[in-house]
Structure 1
Amino acid sequence: MKLFTSRLMSAFLLIPGFFFGQASAADPVSIDTILPSHTLRVGAVNAPPWYQKDLLTNQWVGLVPDVVQALTKGTDIKIEYVDTQWGTAVAGLQSDRFDILGGFNKTPERAKAADFTRPMGSHQMGILTLQKETKKFEKWDTINSPDVKLAAIDGSAAATLLQPQAPKAQWIIVPDSDNMLLQMESGRADAVVNNDIQMAQYVSKRHQGTVIIPTPVKEQPTNIGLRQQRPELKAWLDSRLEQLEKDGTLNAIWKKYTLPATQK
């Protein structure tokens, strides 16, 4: 068993092209050509800490909005957020509802229908539970049991990557983060399956719960998704990732959302 630790940042620093920044004069295609409207439409899922809509200001805040602000810094690009869900995000990209979706993990299934930038970070997949006895969550082999009830978000990496690896477990698939946590808090699920960043946020804010990273560890890079056949936009995004690798901006953004968790 591997309990949640603050190892996140050291892992992030090992990822090539981890930082966003300003484009250089060597960019082959100008942003005017890529986005002639000078508006970048960003798919937004109400799933803290990735995205969260401030009900008072109606503005989107969170890790991805912070990254998008850094991504467009130094340009005259306007940012427009479009509500979506993880489970329907690919369809939103395909239908041109929005241009990009941040914090979107590249999976073989998604890659058939969408394109992805180089990684913008990495996280580990794990278990969050309110139960005192956590031994059954130490390994994915023991989690894969009919006696284990797991909640996950439809279309999330937890559902798409881990559900096939634990087919014997009872999976409760829900549309969003609030419903997923409600399954655990109400006792309908033994635990939720999610990434270490979101689980750490829950423990830090609610002061309850135990985060477990089962073995073997399942680590997943996270990317920016975009519609296929937009090579200029992908090249521009990748260029921004590469050019500010040494700037430290993205590192500082991630650090805001990876506070050490308080264990129950």
Structure 2
Amino acid sequence: MVTSADWPPYEWHLIENGEDKIVGFDIAIAEYIAAELGVELNITDMDFDGLIPAVSTGKADIIMAGMNPTPERSESVDFSDIYILETDVVMVRAEDAEKYSTLEGIENMKWATQKATVQEDFIKETYPESYLQSVGQWGTAILSLKTGKVDGILMVDAVAEQYVKQNPGLSTFAISDGKEEYAIALHKDNVSLLKDIDKALENLKQDGSYDKLYQQYFTK
């Protein structure tokens, strides 16, 4: 499995007893699927824009990284059933929240977001004249926001909530009621693995494990 482990509560690095581990909601689901399939789970962390090339060239079997199954991505990889829905928000410096609470304010915003994401596509399409810093890692975007190089970051609500907790002085607001769908990506035409993954996801929900993991990672 490949992921981009800067996306809490989905995946992030945790130092525990001197050991660097990748943990999170996606990781827990991947561990469940691996157990269902009777295989060992090996995880590689990389920038988000390198994930699809890693799977499409056969260097990895699956992607779990809060990935939306868009038509463009579906040209390179196949996707499992949807396993969670998310909502986008804008993260700003708390002192500037009122300034950017109007449509006019947003149109004048300097943006940052992650490369190769649907958030990047949204900004390019909706605010084509706006400054946009596309980054490999979210930490770079957060630093740019805190130091005033950009005014706002577009990311999903659950992840933004975690970064706000870690960075006092930041806040969020919603700009859309739309929902994002997350799925597992895998090499095209691997029908057998796709069926196994979808079956494992179905079992995950039916045996109550999904609800327990959701409570563990999203309701703290």
TM-score (norm 1): 0.75
For each residue in 1:9-68, what CA deviation from the matched residue of structure 2 results, as whole angstroms up to 9, or x when unmatched? xxxxxxxxxxxxxxxxxxxxxxxxxxxxxxxxx102121312223453132212211111
Q: Distance in 2 between matches of 1:63 and 1:181?
A: 22
Quote the RMSD (CA, aligned, Å).
Answer: 2.0
Matched, 1:67 2:29: yes
Q: 2:54: which partner in 1?
A: 92
Q: 1:14: which partner in 2?
A: none
Q: 3-state SS of the aligned residue for 1:169?
A: coil
Q: 2:200: which partner in 1?
A: 240
Greater share of residues in helix = 2
When residues 229 and 168 of structure 1 are mapped into structure 2, their CA distance, relative to the original with a 3 A threshold, is same
Of all paired residues, the percent bearing the same amino acid is 17
Q: Report matched runs for 1:1-264 at 5 Å.
A: 42-49=1-8, 50-55=10-15, 56-102=18-64, 103-135=66-98, 137-138=100-101, 141-142=103-104, 145=107, 147-214=108-175, 216-259=176-219
The structural deviation recorded for 1:144 is 5.5
The 8 Å contact of residues 100 and 109 in structure 2, kept in 1 or not, is answered as no
The 8 Å contact of residues 151 and 171 in structure 1, kept in 2 or not, is answered as yes
Q: 3-state SS of the aligned residue for 1:72?
A: helix
Moved more, 78-87 or 222-231: 78-87
The 8 Å contact of residues 201 and 258 in structure 1, kept in 2 or not, is answered as no
For each residue in 1:91-144, what CA deviation from the matched residue of structure 2 results, as whole angstroms up to 9, or x when unmatched? 1111111111112111121111111111110110110111424345446x5465
Aligned length: 216
The 8 Å contact of residues 144 and 169 in structure 1, kept in 2 or not, is answered as no
Q: Distance in 2 between matches of 1:137 and 1:99?
A: 42
Q: Distance in 1 between matches of 2:218 and 2:105?
A: 26
Extract unaligned runs of 5+ from structure 1: 1-41
Q: Distance in 2 between matches of 1:182 and 1:95?
A: 33
Extract unaligned runs of 5+ from structure 2: none
Instruction: Output the amino acid matched with 1:71.
Output: I
The structural deviation recorded for 1:211 is 1.3
Q: Which has the higher contact order (CA 8 A, sep 6+)?
A: 1
